[in-house]
Amino acid sequence: MKVHKHEAIIVGAGGAGLMAALYASKAGADVAVVSKLYPTRSHTGAAQGGIGAALGNLDEDQPIYHTYDTVKGGDYLTDQAAAKILAENAVDAVIELEHMGLPFDRTSEKRISQRRFGGHTRNFGEELVRRACHAADRTGHMILQTLYQQCIKNEVHFFDEFQVVDMIVVDGAVAGVIAIELGTGEFHIFHGKASFFASGGWGRCWSVTSNAHALTGDGAAIALRRGVPLEDMEFFQFHPTGIYRMGILITEGVRGEGGVLINSVGERFMERYAPSAKDLASRDVVSRAIYLETREGRSIKNRGYVHLDIRPGTVNRYFAEEGRDRNDFIDDATVERKLPDILDFCRTYLGVDPVKEPMPVQPTAHYAMGGIPTNVDAEVVIDAAGTVMPGLYAAGETACVSVHGANRLGTNSLVDLVVFGRRGGMSMAEFVKQADWKALPANPEGEIRAEFDRIRNATGKSRSGELRAKMQETMMENIGVFRTQETMQRGIDDLAELRERFYTDIQIDDKAHVFNTDLMEAWELGALLDLADVTARTAIEREESRGAHSREDFKERDDENWLAHSLISHDGVLADPTYTVSFDKPVDLSLWEEEIAQGLPEDKQKFRPKARVY
């Protein structure tokens, strides 16, 4: 059993992990990054449209407006102090990325270019603002490349294609992680003073998703199994514009550049659902609108999708009707220059040329607002009182700070990565300077090795691919954009049956050790089942509609009874866990009370809902 000893262990090599590694190493910590993928294949690279920062390069903007949009977009479940940190730190973070060499698009004055995005406004919602800083439509890819280069320069240690499968807890503190080297099948111990989970989301719980095959929620599932409750798991964002049937994301930047959504009768239907923001309303609003158009028989060919139209003739006609400056008008060359990857996706996968014909789109499971609870320094907290688990950190999509509340604002995923990845890296570096090494327990890999042996040697009749497909189908049908008590209970019952088959009737065909994807995908299925289950169980408990959690049997947001964060934990029994759900964690509403006192207009005071703590 090989043991690697480093002060700071980072799990995941996406934007949050690399930012944490960079800043921890800058502060002198000995840092190792453990990733099941090669770093530049991490899912941050799939982020397209931009990173939000109130630079004000094209429109007057301020961080407080970004804060307002973040809290409003989160349907008031956002912790307001965290949102303010996000918005204020975003400006410095973007400028720092520029100085690191990130090739942002430029204005004619050579400043960082910015585009419109859904929910981005100034003066507290009065007017749309250009806030999304972009590098064509591959902004996440550029961030990933830039940060990886900086980490190499800083001599961060990388362990690529090592999949973390367990966490070592000693006397209530984290002493490292256990990983499988994919190329050999061998278990490795990574012994550290602190461990940082930045392992991404779990969109693969659903059948139509923008998430890569690798996004199976390993980090969140490991934390849950080791006693860390998960926060706000009922909130999972469906992005309104995924490629029909495939789920591959069509960035919100298409609509930021003027693209419009059209139904089967040629109507720009978002004017009905969001008369002011229209196609740039928040993602939950647009996703629900597409589903409602489908339900009322106005989807294209009655197949559940609508058209996203970025053809210059269509866009310029609407621009003219809106009285927009002719400098905003677009032509074929502008579309080709600003959205090259989107055009390539559609031409390659659909045989559709967006410059000449509209794109078929439907909502796609996209982003987890919930996850491992943390404070604003990325320290993991294990209860409603904010008790810190020593030596454990998290950031990015696997974490819940809670800066996204019930529905993430577009571009804030990349802001989250760089802001809280950086803060977490600095916090972790300070921790390891004063922390002692925890002695490893005897046979720390015993439990997880036994689980892998169980999967490898099982002789049942069910294959993991079959069970995964059934899980994804039931999640899409029952815990999707719209939910009811009946559908969610059906989903919970289906998941219980699938869990029983996974633990009693599984079989894999590949018994080898080298690059055994059959074995690893079966283990990942167990993680996905855990996360699907806690999503369904917290969703059925929250009897209101808020953000991405839309119930047809409780259609209104209920601040009087449900303005609180959920926490769900289980007893660690994998095959048949007992869950505990609570709504004891209050939402931080302190900021806006202070801002109102400083002169926020009276008509915005309703923005601060009444708090109730359970």
Query: Which residue numbers are catalytic?
Result: 283
Contact of 279 with 255, CB cutoff 8 Å: yes
The full 3-state SS of 405-460, as one line of letters, equals CCCCCCCHHHHHHHHHHHHHHHHHHHHHHHCCCCCCCCCCCHHHHHHHHHHHHCCC
Distance CA 139, CA 497 (A): 41
Question: Of 416, 472, 427, 522, which Cα lies nearest the Cα of 200?
Answer: 416
- Are the CB atoms for 354 and 330 separated by under 8 Å? no
Q: Concatenated DSSP letters for 496-533?
A: HHHHHHHHHSB--S---STT-HHHHHHHHHHHHHHHHH
For 88-119, give the secondary structure using H, E and C.
HHHHHHHHHHHHHCCCCCECCCCCECEEEEEE
Q: Say how far residue 179 (Cα) sits from the centre of its chain.
A: 23
Is 389:381 a contact under the CB 8 Å cutoff? yes
Question: How far is 197 from 451, CA to CA, in rounded Å?
Answer: 21
Query: How far is it, in rounded angstroms, from Cα 226 to Cα 133?
Result: 39
Q: CB of 291 within 8 A of CB of 363?
A: yes
- The tokens for 207 are 């059948």
Residue reference for tokens 């995924």: 242
Instruction: Retrieve residue 61's tokens.
Output: 């903007």
How is 290-317 classified by DSSP, letter by letter?
A: HHHHHHTT-SGGGSS-EEEE--HHHHHH
Return the closest-CA partner of residue 305 out of 241, 369, 222.
241
Which amino acid, one-letter code, is at 453?
D
The 10 Å Cβ neighbour count of residue 555 is: 9
Q: Which amino acid is residue 73, in one-letter code?
A: G
C-alpha 370/C-alpha 416 separation (Å) is 13
Rg from Cα positions in the chain: 23
Let me know: does 79 contact 589? Beta carbons within 8 Å.
Answer: no
